[in-house]
Chains A and B, each alone.
Chain A
């Protein structure tokens, strides 16, 4: 019913659907197919996160602005997801990537500059489903686990959203039940 294929070698390396994505195809009774892309788990093996078939993968500078406004500039490797970058570079962002890149949470939510955001690969329904639950959602928000570092991103700045503090104080003691 659900087949799991790794189409890594069959896809071009220029989109979020390449490099370490797993495709799950579910066949429904009436013959329609549902395609579900799943990003590979980050886990504890950071070396798996970069494409070992491309030893000449470019280095890309990415600037992270954390919740306190502090800037961390890191050198990422082409082919890593931004979640991989946060993990590999030990960036101190509380609770980032709780579901380890499987589109089951929104804790890797990042805000991009407008011109960068426009050039990113189109967002999938499954990513929007989780983004819709994120705090501080903006028009240029994406989930870090779905964004793969490319050379054209050299020097880009991404912002970590501020979290729920503001919303809670605004809401006061409003009951959510």
Chain B
């Protein structure tokens, strides 16, 4: 298995991780460990948010770029790592 797939598997089996979604540059989920409706919802909303966040960071300084985005809520934490073409979203419950 490729290195990346192994990494994704490891993340999925990590303590507290609820799900992982890989979204492409158009906001369409490619790989997911959650059910379809949740995936689509997450993908669409978070994609927009990440684009906005990235735009904000780069507007302030064009040589800067967004490394990752953490969204902590009462119930769990959503972590987003943007890439050139893809977006990795992981939902974890940190206090388990």
| A and B associate in one complex | no
B: residues with CB less than 8 A from A are: none
A: residues with CB less than 8 A from B are: none
